[in-house]
Copies of this chain bind each other. A is one copy, B any other.
Amino acid sequence: MDAEAIKRSLGGSGLRCTPQRYAVMAFLMEHNSHPTAAQIFEAVNRVDPRSSRATTYNNLRDLVQAGLVREVAVEGRAARFDAKGMRHHHFICDRCGNVEDIEWYDVPRPASRSLGKRMLRECELIFRGLCTKCALRDTLPVKCRRHVGTR
């Protein structure tokens, strides 16, 4: 949304604000759908200037390294990305694979005994189950369920 804020955060991380990099960052800030690299590539190329696939991957890597973007570890195939705005947890749907934000709350750290000499940087909490849409679909009368089980 705020173009100046994006420029500042890129500059503050030692990254030039190129049109391609800006487009990736802006797209992630405008959408909370946790898109894949391929989806981001397609979306930013619906408007000028065009960006190559390699550049999209390069920029996502740089933004993650700079701490501006998070790569959501999801067991599916393609990585999904997320602009690091407000802290939050994630809910991943068993059935449709959607990744949804869950309001953040503090997670108790492990006992220092079980942590040993490791240096803890962050705790990530991932919830799994059925998203609202899939949960409702499961409770529908049988005659209304079609194509269940077809992936």
Q: What is A's interface to B at a CB cutoff of 8 Å?
A: 71, 73-75, 79, 89, 91, 94, 100, 102-103, 105, 107-108, 110-111, 114-132, 135-136, 138
Contact = CB atoms under 8 A, between A and B. Distances in A.
Given A73-B74, A105-B108, A136-B117, A124 B126 contact: yes
7 contacts: A91-B115, A91-B118, A102-B114, A118-B131, A119-B138, A120-B128, A126-B126
Contacts of A124: 125-128
A118 to B, nearest CB: 6
A87 to B, nearest CB: 13
Contacts of A74: 73
A76 to B, nearest CB: 9
B127 A122 contact: yes
A74 B79 CA distance: 10
Contacts of A123: 125-128
Given A75-B71, A135-B118, A107 B125 contact: yes
The winner among A73, A118, A129, A132 for most chain B CB atoms within 10 A is A118
Contacts of A94: 121
A151 to B, nearest CB: 12
Contacts of A132: 116-118
